[in-house]
Amino acid sequence: MCDIIWCKKPVGGKTCNTVNYLDPYCFWNWEGKVNCAECGTVYYIHMIQGFMYKGPEEKPGEKPDLSPLYADKPLEGYRAYLPGISGRTRPYQCLPRHIYLGKADMVKFSIRGRPTRGWRPQPPSAGIAGQFPYKWDIQALSPEVYEEYKKKLLSGKLKDW
């Protein structure tokens, strides 16, 4: 859920009609000035617990404290201003840490040591997104995972909790 400021300021004989999205992470308990991503109009807002307490009130000639994260123009074919456009939107800071950038791990067994169905590559018989509805024959589908599972069973490395 996020709040919006729909800018209706006339600019060059046309209405701006830009929807500026105020994400709750930055604007939850916030008081200050925010700009419109299209025309640059500065609005004063005061938000408490995610609800607009005061504003938006236009503040001409002042500098914004913060920019919206995202903005679009729904009445003009959804032209959008993505995060990180200088002077219009602020950059998206919630990027994953460097250790999470890369290839996903292939998980064959759950935390309890039981085989999972999410490993790859899945055979074509798996259907869409590797789904084996109710009957999943691990011995026929992946003999190497089945052998590894049998070794875990015999060694007692499986957990039941």
CA distance 77 to 68: 20
Q: Which residues contact 113 (CB under 8 A, 6 or more apart)?
A: 149, 152, 157, 158, 159
Distance of CA 29 to the CA centre of its chain: 21
The whole-angstrom separation of Cα 68 and Cα 90 is 6
Tokens 């009957």 found at: 135
pLDDT in tens, the chain (161 residues): 678 999 999 988 999 999 999 988 888 899 999 999 999 999 999 999 888 999 899 999 999 999 998 999 988 877 899 888 888 998 877 656 666 666 656 777 778 888 776 666 666 666 655 565 556 677 776 788 888 888 888 888 776 65
End-to-end CA distance of the chain: 37
| Residues written for the chain | 161
Residue 103: predicted pLDDT: 62
Give me the residue spans of the domains in the chain.
3-81, 99-155
Q: Is 79 left (phi over 0), alpha (psi -120 to 50) or beta?
A: beta
Predicted confidence at residue 107, as pLDDT, reads 75
Q: Which residues pair with 54 in a beta bridge?
A: 46
Burial 60-72 (b: 16+ CB within 10 A, else e): eeeebeebbbbbb
- The percent of the chain in helix, strand and coil, each rounded to the nearest 5, is 20, 30, 50
Whether the full predicted model's pTM is greater than 0.75, yes or no, is no
